[in-house]
Chains A and B, each alone.
Chain A
Amino acid sequence: MRRVQRTLVHWILPAFAVAALVAAVKPAAMPAQEAEPLAIVVNRSNPMSEISLADLRKLYRGQRSRWSNGRRVTLVMRDPGTPEREAILQTLYGVDEDEYRRGFLQAVFTGEAIGAPRVLASPNGVLRFVFNVPGAIGYVRVSEVDATVKTLRVDGRLPGEAGYRLEVPEQ
């Protein structure tokens, strides 16, 4: 028994402590980069004009599948590797590309999510898709937004207002 305790004190606990330290150490902060707000856009017929970040997370994770008018939500994502997509993965999913794929596949596998998002290659494609599909929701840089879609306030803020949390490095 004493040997077990000694092993625990001398080896296992320090090992856990070191592991915890390693986990806590974060890479050195990168130099600050100019950021551009990312606008969340929906079809103009969508009755919503505002959404909370928590609800946006639920939508993008497939945990909410219907709009308030009963129409099914159609998610739009940009191509893998684009800064816009990475910003959304970081802010709404809190994961990287591999974990995102695995998580969404698992949600579809368990029946929790209805289907994977539509992946579009350009902001034009996103705007066009959102314009054409009443239940669609997507994201583009604020400089790419036009009058064919509606920009949602997130937590009461429009893109660029103080406290708006969806940002992407400037091009």
Chain B
Amino acid sequence: MPELRRDPVIGRWVIISKERGKRPSDFVIVQERVRGGYCPLCPGNEHSTPPEVLAYGRKEGAPPNSPGWSLRVVPNKYPALTPNGNLDRRKEGIYDKLNGVGAHEVIIETPKHEETLATMPVEQIELIFRSYRDRMKALSEDDRFQFIIIFKNFGRAAGASLEHSHSQLIALPIVPLTIKQELSGSMRYFELNERCIFCDIIRQERSQNIRIVCENDEFITLSPFAPRSPFEMWCLPKYHSSSYPEISDTQIKSLATLFSETMRRLDKALPKVPYNIMLHTSPIREQNLEYYHWHLEILPKLTMIAGFEWGTGFYINPTPPEESARFLREIDIHKQGTPDSLLSRKEKLIS
């Protein structure tokens, strides 16, 4: 019998169709044809991007927007929101509107066109997390912005149009509904229990030990109890922190190590699976919250969002998180080639 599960933070329900219990080998992942050709994000093509707002790795004295970088952050050439102007919040009868002011930036995660989060060295992932912190801190100075979302789309099915590894940042003049739901759910739990719900989730997961994918001293990756997607994972600090920009250099090193392992496990289980990653952190003007906990959500794109999901906010997930965590945990990421459990994997190759 399927099982209904409720996410303890925001109360979202999911249907876990337990009897289907899809294994990694049961998912058909369409392998995308690489388009190739000129890449505007590659070194040497810096003139194709707007002037950078941050870059690491160039030799001292090298001019900005020249090759030799390890990571670049540039404004989006065609931003969803514009950085200039004031908000001018206004009413139109019962309706609310304001000017589309915000910052939209692209983090070019590596100079190597073919590299992915699953293949790049840990030191490169460290740079990515450092750039997230540095840009969040810089944009937090702008008092028009209330919230900064960082997200990554990997693979066309997940919304990535260019294969060169990149993530995006959008500074918003409002706190989005999803974050408000997490904040109010966490606050409600805190009022009742005087503890952070995410800290309690980590405590229970470590004691049950059935949904943990991997962990180190400071961070943990787990399959959440009520996941929206098969192989959904959350990566959280084990220490309490509501605000990502407060992360230290040492903590970034530790996060990068665990995150790299997480992505290598996912890629080994489901090679080149499209996914979305979102960084959830507290709003800019609400730092050091006792009841909230920043975290990364990793959502592989393996199921369709259709009428039922849109109509109800429910998700149907054919893989119980206990099974997906076990698959991911048991995979030997150091072993070459395809794991035995995946040999029957069906692939549709599009040439």
Whether chains A and B associate is no
Q: Which positions in B face A, CB cutoff 8 Å?
A: none
Q: Which positions in A face B, CB cutoff 8 Å?
A: none
